[in-house]
Amino acid sequence: MSAQRYTTQAFPSYAFVPGEAPHPTRDPRGHSYSEGPESAVPSVEPENWKSSADYLFGVDLYNAGFLWEAHEAWEGLWHVSKHDKVQAQFIQGLIQCTAGCLKIRMDQKRGMQKLFSAGIGRLQSVVKDFGPYYMGLDIVEFTDALQEFGEGDPPVVEDRPRLELQ
């Protein structure tokens, strides 16, 4: 299943899975080793999500199966969003759900379950505080699909629900 792209930024040369490939930033063979220190990530008002290259590239990375990389793309945005409790919960929820998907690739079912539970809980708190749509995502649809996916003891992460922004 191919999801819509939200950016034109190039994908890395491989999707990092811990223990299976060179670490992207610490190993000289890593796909992002020569990029140097990260630049400051600009914060974004939730209603202006379409202008956030970091948010949108994270969505593209997640949808294309670059799970570790998606987490990294959102990490800086999470740090600068801590002044906004709802946005911080939303970004951290996405990060945890993504990390849960990565645990499937690592054959760590318990880790997947714990991360899905934490991430889905954070996303559901956004629904309670803000409503079902946040930064372009139908949170209820996504969390319901991810919950169902995780309960089915997924053998492959490729069948995970995608992030579709509206």
pLDDT score for 37: 53
Contact 38, 142 (CB under 8 A): no
pLDDT score for 108: 94
Burial of 164 (0-12, 13-18, 19+ CB in 10 A): middle
Distance from C-alpha of 110 to C-alpha of 122, rounded to nearest angstrom: 19
Backbone angles phi, psi at 105, to 5 degrees: -60, -30
**CATH 3.40.1780.10 matches 52-159:** no
H or E element at residue 137 = strand 137-138
* Domain definitions of the chain by residue range: 52-159
pLDDT score for 25: 77
Count CA atoms closer than 13 A to 127's CA, side-chain side. Answer: 16
Low-confidence ranges of the chain (pLDDT < 70): 1-2, 30, 35-39
pLDDT score for 36: 55
pLDDT score for 62: 98
- Which residue in 118, 126, 122, 162 sits closest to 142, CA to CA? 162
pLDDT score for 26: 79
